Amino acid sequence: NISNYKITWCGRFSVTFATNFAIRLVKAVEHRPLTGYFLRHGSSLQDPWLPLGKYHMGITADVNLHHFVTYLAVGFK
């Protein structure tokens, strides 16, 4: 039921699965912890829309205080 939708799914499983996989892989292969580095933070409220019209990708919804996306960039070494 879309009116009861309270959990955001974008990256909910894929990001946590990939991070856990990378942590275990580095530990098993290189016997060291995986180190993460904060790179950048942003949101669809502050960053401009990307010019993706030539790829036939359009704007899916307006950006406002009720509908926005937060971006977090982390690098791993």
- pLDDT digits 0-9 by tens, 26-66: 999 999 999 999 999 988 888 777 777 777 777 666 788 88
Asked whether the whole model's pTM tops 0.75, one would answer: no
Q: Which tokens sit at 2?
A: 């879309």
Beta bridge partners of 75: 37
- Say whether 39 sits in a helix, a strand or coil: strand
More confident residue, 35 or 68: 35
CA distance 66 to 13: 23
What pLDDT sits at residue 39? 96
Cα 24 → chain centroid: 21
